[in-house]
Structure 1
Amino acid sequence: MRYFAKLQGQKEAVPVDIEHLGGTQYRLTLHEKTYTVDALTLDHGAVSLLVDGTSYPVEFEESGDEVGVLVRGQVTRVDVADERRLRLRAASAGFSAEGKQVISAPMPGKVVKVLVKQGDEVKEGQGLIVVEAMKMENELKSPKAGKVVELLAKEGTTVENNAKLAVVE
């Protein structure tokens, strides 16, 4: 099956072909290079990946199409989509956010910085709140131009997954 993966900070997604070979074996093709992968799910939810003879313990945290991947103490956010999902995204790309937009915590973490105040006018894509999760800081951005009508995030507080942090109208 073909997927498209876009690493945090990259502009374009790259195709990744994954073929199940049976059992825990997979063939993965990325950047025209093929890897043999043995993926074993561990009791605590992590995955042990054996890639061409090298072992990698990996942990995942899913949030919609995005996945936080922890490998050797380093977290990388990856946006993953199959061909169908890419077509659906392209079809809805012309639409913009309307009405009240709730900004929620993408995963459990700690609010490390609040970049706006209640009542501030913001632009679409402007950073609002920085949440640290899995040893990585995530800047949450405004989905639309508007006004911050609610601001529940406070620096130093811990938040649960999907906790309401702000509302832009």
Structure 2
Amino acid sequence: MRYFAKLQGQKEAVPVDIEPAGENRFKLTHGGKTFLVDALTLDHGAVSMLVDGTSYSVEFDEQGDEVLVSVRGQVNRIDVADERRLRLRAATAGFSVEGKQLISAPMPGKVVKVLVKQGDEVKEGQGLVVIEAMKMENELKSPKAGKVVELLAKEVTAVEINAKLVVVE
């Protein structure tokens, strides 16, 4: 899957491709270089990563579309977006969405948190469901203010790509 990452202070986001390469292993391609990454989530929430033979303990703190990444005592703020999110940002810059909005799984994974209940009033950008995929948690947000009219996501269940999770009207 292709992501675009922009470090705080950089003008442009750079593409980063992440592909599964076995259990807890990924191929990460950035700047024309490919790295083999072994990733294991530790009990206290940090991720132990082995990148081309070098070990790192990495902590992530999601703050909206940004992620604070702590590695070896240095914290970096990174704006991370997949191609879909970039298109949504561009599309919503001038107008807001109307009508029923279906929020579906952008990739196969596991629902780790359901942040709303059916009937809840939600704000645009409010978190609805958290999905874990490739050892990363992705918070799916409401594309508009409205009411949760359908809630199909259930915690600790596996979902396939494009699985229907929430409908906001």
Q: Secondary structure at the match of 1:14?
A: coil
Letter in 1 for 2:5: K
TM-score by length of 1: 0.56
Structure 2 contact 125–143 (Cα < 8 Å) conserved: yes
CA contact (8 A) 2:27 2:34 kept: no
> Aligned-pair distance for 1:106?
1.0
Question: Matches of 1:80 and 1:153 in 2, distance apart?
Answer: 21
Count of residue pairs brought into register by the alignment: 125
Question: TM-score of the superposition, structure 2-length normalised?
Answer: 0.56
> Greater Rg, structure 1 or structure 2?
1
Q: Which residue of structure 1 aligns with residue 81 of structure 2? A: 79
In 2, Cα distance between the equivalents of 1:118 and 1:56?
42
Equivalent residue number for residue 133 of structure 1: 133
Q: Do 1:114 and 1:155's aligned partners in 2 also have CA atoms closer than 8 Å?
A: yes
Q: Which amino acid aligns with 2:35?
A: Y
In 2, distance between residues paired with 1:157 and 1:11? 38
Alpha carbons 1:124, 1:145 under 8 Å: kept: yes
Cα contact 1:112–1:130 (8 A) shared by 2: yes
Aligned-residue Cα RMSD (Å) equals 4.4
CA change 1:96–1:56 in 2 (3 A) is same
d(CA) in 2 for partners of 1:132 and 1:117?
20
Matching of residue 159 in structure 1 with residue 159 in structure 2: yes
Query: Whole-Å Cα distance in 2 between the matches of residues 157 and 151 of structure 1?
Result: 13
Give structure 2 stretches of 5+ with no counterpart.
16-20, 38-48, 61-66, 68-78
